Amino acid sequence: MVIMIYVLLSWILTGVFITLSHKPSDKMAYTFLFMVLSIITTNWNYIVFEKLKMSTYPNELDKYYALILDRSVNIPILILFTVHSFTKMETLKGKYSAVLIGLAVFIGYDFLGVTLNVNLYKGWNSIYSMLIVAGSVFLAIFLKRWFERKVNVAKGGML
């Protein structure tokens, strides 16, 4: 049952994100960001689970697959939603709101994982995860701007 919830969330998140209107350069940037964020979330989960021993893997196979789907697809897409909202906002207040709402959604999503026993924290908690996701959001915003500049230069524009 747990795996079905996570697969459904993955399909919904991916489907909604794909249907958002993007320029062709945005599609390349978001694909690049998805790959980078997937690597980052997988590595910080590895550090938390294996090196720091602050969380344990679920014993049931469906919950383990849900955890893999969580860190490989769902968390990077949630971060991409936050980055997309951030870049679409015009005012500084709107940009702050986009980041705060994105982090609040992540906290709710992490609470779902704790409730369903997918995230089994021992010495870790949701606040630490939120701080890492906040850092990933700001890194993704920086990388998106960097990628857009590189694409602009490659097309003959100025840096």
Angle made by CA atoms 92, 95, 97, in degrees to the nearest 5: 110
Does the residue 135 lie in any domain?
Answer: yes
Q: 65: burial class by Cβ within 10 Å (0-12, 13-18, 19+)?
A: middle
Does the residue 145 lie in any domain?
Answer: yes
Structure tokens at 76: 């990077």
Torsion sign, CA atoms 119, 39, 5, 134:
positive
Q: Which pLDDT score is estimated for 152?
A: 75
Quote the number of domains for the chain. Answer: 1
Does the residue 130 lie in any domain?
Answer: yes
Residue pLDDT tens, the chain, 159 long: 899 999 999 999 999 998 887 777 788 899 999 999 999 999 999 999 999 999 999 999 999 999 999 999 999 999 999 999 999 999 999 999 999 999 999 999 999 999 999 999 999 999 999 999 999 999 999 999 999 888 877 776 655
Q: 57, 120 in Cβ contact below 8 A?
A: yes
Count of residues for the chain? 159
In one-letter notation, the amino acid at residue 153 is: V
Does the residue 19 lie in any domain?
Answer: no
Does the residue 139 lie in any domain?
Answer: yes
Q: Which pLDDT score is estimated for 157?
A: 61
Q: Which pLDDT score is estimated for 115?
A: 96
pTM: 0.92
Residue 76: give the domain boundaries. Answer: 2-8+25-154
139-to-10, 13, 92, 143, 145 alpha-carbon distances in Å: 23, 21, 18, 6, 10
Does the residue 20 lie in any domain?
Answer: no
